[in-house]
Structure 1
Amino acid sequence: MKTPKSKIPSPLAIAWVLFLFVFLSALFLYKPSETDWHNHLENTFNWAYEGMWSSSALAFLVQMSLMLVLGHIIALSEPCKGQIKKLTQLGKNNQQAVVITAAAAMIAGFINWGFGLVMGAIIAKSFIDELARKGISRNPGLIAASGYTGLLVWHGGLSGSSLLKVAEAGHLNSLAPHLYDTDALIDISSTIFSSVNLLNFGLIFSAVLLTGYFLGKRNPGCGAKESLKDEKVIEQKASKGLDGSTYFAWILGVLLILAAEMIAQQYSGLKFLNPNFINFCLLAMAFIAHGSLSRFSKALNEAISGTSGILIQFPIYFAIMGLMNSSGMALSIANFFTSISTENSLPFFTFLSAGLVNLFVPSGGGQWMIQGPIILESCQQFGIAVEKGILALAYGDQLTNMLQPFWALPLLAITRVKVGKLLPYTIKYFLVGFVVYGTVVLLF
């Protein structure tokens, strides 16, 4: 598929365009009648500023940067390269590489969104390089897009923000105290492990693999002369002292794994799976995989360059979130779709509104806090099972990740694929997802 580079802006340009659109909308469309223009302009700037530099947002920025860097460090280790090479040898051509990458990314994404994001990117990069070394035609944009499909299924999986929050006693009461007692909850057996959600995962999994196969066959891509730049080889020459000691690195890794095991036992179910825990485990695995602090440090120097886009662009989206939340824009979008809904159409309009809000607020947890109270009220009003409304939000949220390059930044950094090569194929995965998710929401 040929896509003129000039027609697709960079992720940074897209972020600033979205920011300006939301800023001007908040300024001119959401001015309280009792506030004069000078104060409203000041408030609008403050909403953006506070969102951009909020402590929770900056903590999230560090978590995501570490997740990207540590995952990349592990991928640069010899043991990981060996295992990934075995996997990539299963793909003999472009379409097989696309299918295997998408399957691995979606399975990993269902387990945990961060795991799926990093692993999908690493496997995609490995396939791109392996096919290049063999001189086999490959489509880096399509393979990378397939590595991004973990974000197409994550919110219906084991790390789905809204599905895990409603399983906590007291959370429903905090959102709608007049509807729920303090001990009310919705167990994950009714959401994540419900027959509808598992059926939906099976359908989207199959549909994406079929789509990827046919796209890979129709768009074989470039030959060996256009191969991407290989990663720098991490020298295996050992340094002296503690930095070069294999035993020291392994001891550190084992201690961290033991600590992670003890931390996990303090939580029920899979509630221990969060960005901090994942990064803790990735750090342990990185020490063990490289076998010395010197090799770890060399890999770090190579991997850290991939965080540049995240460090600049995440705060822009945090500012957008601050504007949408504080101005009431996100709430008004959700209320609009609810106001035009009926008993039969409410889940579908919830699905649509979640997808729209996600383009501007690409955070599942943040989106649930905005739309959650409205969904609980609406489901009660129309006599619809709350689980259905929550799953509709989850599907809409994860669907438009295929249109939003925010979460693709780590993948773009690892694969070195330009956003202009990625989006034409993620848009196709979006269309497939819209048909699958929309049909399930309407019928079930």
Structure 2
Amino acid sequence: MSTTTQLRVKESASEKVATWYAKYFPDSLIFALVLTVIAMILALIFTDSGPGKIMDSWFVGIPMLFTFAFQLAFTYAAALVLVDTPKVQQGIVWLARKIKTPQMAYIMTGVVGALVSFAGWYIGPVVTAIFARAVAKEMNTVDFRLISAIAYSSFVISLTGISGTIPLFVASEGPLTELVGGLIGLEDTTFSIMNLVSAAAIVLATTITFYFIARNKKNIVSYADLAIASAPQRDVDTDADTVIDADPMGGRNTFADKINRSRIPILFIGLLGLGYLIYFFWENGLSGLNLNTVAFVALVIGFLVQKNAIAYAASFSRNLVSTGSIMLQFPIYGGIASIFALTGLAGVLTDGLVSIATPETYLTITFLITGVLNMFVPSAGSQFVATAPFFIPAGEAFGIDNTMTVMAITYGDIWTNLIQPFWALLYFPILAVGTKLRVRDFMGYCLPILIIVGIIWILALNFLPLH
């Protein structure tokens, strides 16, 4: 739909919210920088840390997520290489064409995203973003902003799933094991009745909500509307040939040129890697899945499907540019997390708010506090380490089971991701490449989901049994 036509059509309520969000919500980098300043001011006011201590904490925290940022950037560039290959493109298009209506596209994106994210938070964004993008490219009647929001919001149950950071943290020996009263197995957290029922309720409720949002939608902005009009896409093989032709010594007939064009080296390494993966998962099962494993899988499959090493390198280099937001912003959030942890700000805020709780309101207040802190410290592990020493003893004083407190922290930690653009950066490199899509273009559609998910988790914490 053209811009002129959009202006003539009266927006639905959800579209008004999304438009307001896009209009007033700053770029994700500006958001991170503003949160940095707020964290510094709060630490200065509420702790005994001076400017020097605060700046030291910030400096120490910036490198905290260097490794994590590189892992994600590598994984996403390697995953995008797969999307570059003709056979994979054909498979995605074939799958996307099986979906005949926009409503089915929205529903399938949400359900597929939730299932894959529950299986692994590091798998969900890659699979869901590729799927949503492919469907939107094939159907001009699909709103690209809305399907991007659905893809992202499906991530909301990821850290309550099999790969959830906090459930895995308390299920393993560590520095806080004694604090939480010993190991807490996944059967008491991830696979508890409370968690499984609430996860199912969230998938159902968000699917229904997005169904009505889509049905009432007036302005459809398709993938084509947001695609960047530019020169034709470069072909990977053409890039490879250009690199080879750049050799001034022997044209295309030298030994080096033949090796560069040969598929044998990259195929051999790919098959070697595939053989090891089969052995690895035979020995470890699903417990062997983690971010490093996913990166290795993407690398190996890329070696198997690309024409040659030069083609692979050219594609990887192009797609690595799309991960710039991850490489830049993750360390900034590491600095914010460090300010909260090292200055004691997280403890001060947590202790003060918990002091007003009662046995009846404790879990709800813990959930809400954690949600607020997540805006500043979106890393689940970092936040849990910083706040658990305050939440767990407070819960014990009220007679609350430690497992329930752990789940309240887990839910709160991921809840506000629906309006915090940190984790949206996992979807953005795949969704937005080649388009004018911005994070704030789709985050506004997640606001009603924030309310619905919050209500479901508060009800679950207060009324559903663990077993």
Question: Do the structures match in fold with TM over 0.5?
Answer: yes
Could you tell me whether the CA contact under 8 Å between 1:110 and 1:154 is conserved in 2?
Answer: yes
Q: CA deviation at 1:369?
A: 1.1
The whole-number CA distance in structure 2 between the counterparts of 1:223 and 1:373 is 48
Could you tell me whether the CA contact under 8 Å between 2:143 and 2:223 is conserved in 1?
Answer: no
What residue number does 1:51 align with? 61
Alignment partner of 1:8 is 2:25: yes
The whole-number CA distance in structure 1 between the counterparts of 2:59 and 2:162 is 33
The whole-number CA distance in structure 1 between the counterparts of 2:228 and 2:100 is 21
**SS of residue in 2 equivalent to 1:193:** coil
> Match of 1:423, as an amino acid?
M
Could you tell me whether the CA contact under 8 Å between 1:330 and 1:370 is conserved in 2?
Answer: yes
Range 276-285 or range 410-419, more displaced: 410-419
**SS of residue in 2 equivalent to 1:50:** helix
Q: 2:169 aligns with which of 162, 165, 169?
A: 165
> Match of 1:45, as an amino acid?
M
What residue number does 2:155 align with? 151
What residue number does 1:434 align with? 454
The whole-number CA distance in structure 2 between the counterparts of 1:143 and 1:83 is 20
Alignment partner of 1:313 is 2:329: yes
Could you tell me whether the CA contact under 8 Å between 1:234 and 1:298 is conserved in 2?
Answer: no
What residue number does 1:443 align with? 463
Q: CA 1:211/1:6 → structure 2, altered by over 3 Å: closer, same or farther?
A: closer
Q: CA 1:9/1:224 → structure 2, altered by over 3 Å: closer, same or farther?
A: closer
**SS of residue in 1 equivalent to 2:445:** helix
Alignment partner of 1:348 is 2:364: yes
What residue number does 1:113 align with? 121
Could you tell me whether the CA contact under 8 Å between 1:139 and 1:221 is conserved in 2?
Answer: yes
Q: 1:214 aligns with which of 201, 212, 215?
A: 212
The whole-number CA distance in structure 1 between the counterparts of 2:48 and 2:87 is 58
Q: 1:91 aligns with which of 93, 96, 99?
A: 99
Output aligned runs, 1:15-414, within 5 Å: 15-32=32-49, 40-54=50-64, 57-131=65-139, 136-168=140-172, 170-171=173-174, 174-175=175-176, 177=178, 180=181, 184-219=182-217, 221-222=220-221, 226-229=225-228, 232=233, 234-236=235-237, 241-264=258-281, 270-414=286-430
- Cα root mean square deviation, aligned: 2.4
**SS of residue in 2 equivalent to 1:114:** coil
Q: CA deviation at 1:442?
A: 2.0
Could you tell me whether the CA contact under 8 Å between 2:106 and 2:147 is conserved in 1?
Answer: yes
Unaligned regions of 5+ residues in structure 1, if any?
Answer: 33-39
Q: CA deviation at 1:227?
A: 4.6
The whole-number CA distance in structure 2 between the counterparts of 1:210 and 1:359 is 27
The whole-number CA distance in structure 1 between the counterparts of 2:259 and 2:396 is 62
Unaligned regions of 5+ residues in structure 2, if any?
Answer: 1-14, 242-256
Could you tell me whether the CA contact under 8 Å between 1:72 and 1:303 is conserved in 2?
Answer: yes
The TM-score, its normalising length taken from structure 1, stands at 0.88
Could you tell me whether the CA contact under 8 Å between 2:237 and 2:307 is conserved in 1?
Answer: no
The whole-number CA distance in structure 2 between the counterparts of 1:179 and 1:317 is 27
The whole-number CA distance in structure 2 between the counterparts of 1:392 and 1:295 is 48
Q: CA deviation at 1:249?
A: 2.4
Q: CA deviation at 1:326?
A: 0.9
Q: CA 1:368/1:262 → structure 2, altered by over 3 Å: closer, same or farther?
A: farther
The whole-number CA distance in structure 2 between the counterparts of 1:336 and 1:192 is 29
Q: CA deviation at 1:428?
A: 2.1
Could you tell me whether the CA contact under 8 Å between 1:78 and 1:290 is conserved in 2?
Answer: no
**SS of residue in 1 equivalent to 2:423:** coil
Q: CA deviation at 1:262?
A: 4.5
Range 356-365 or range 333-342, more displaced: 333-342
Q: CA 1:188/1:18 → structure 2, altered by over 3 Å: closer, same or farther?
A: same
How many residue pairs are counted as aligned between the two chains?
424
The whole-number CA distance in structure 2 between the counterparts of 1:264 and 1:366 is 29
The whole-number CA distance in structure 2 between the counterparts of 1:375 and 1:29 is 19
Q: CA deviation at 1:226?
A: 1.5
Q: CA deviation at 1:253?
A: 1.7
Alignment partner of 1:419 is 2:439: yes
Q: CA 1:29/1:77 → structure 2, altered by over 3 Å: closer, same or farther?
A: same
Q: CA deviation at 1:266?
A: 6.5
The whole-number CA distance in structure 1 between the counterparts of 2:204 and 2:148 is 18
Q: CA deviation at 1:225?
A: 6.1
Residues 401-422 of structure 1, C-alpha deviations (whole Å, 9 max, x = no match): 1111011123223222212311
The TM-score, its normalising length taken from structure 2, stands at 0.84
The whole-number CA distance in structure 2 between the counterparts of 1:78 and 1:437 is 43
Could you tell me whether the CA contact under 8 Å between 1:125 and 1:415 is conserved in 2?
Answer: yes
**SS of residue in 2 equivalent to 1:175:** coil
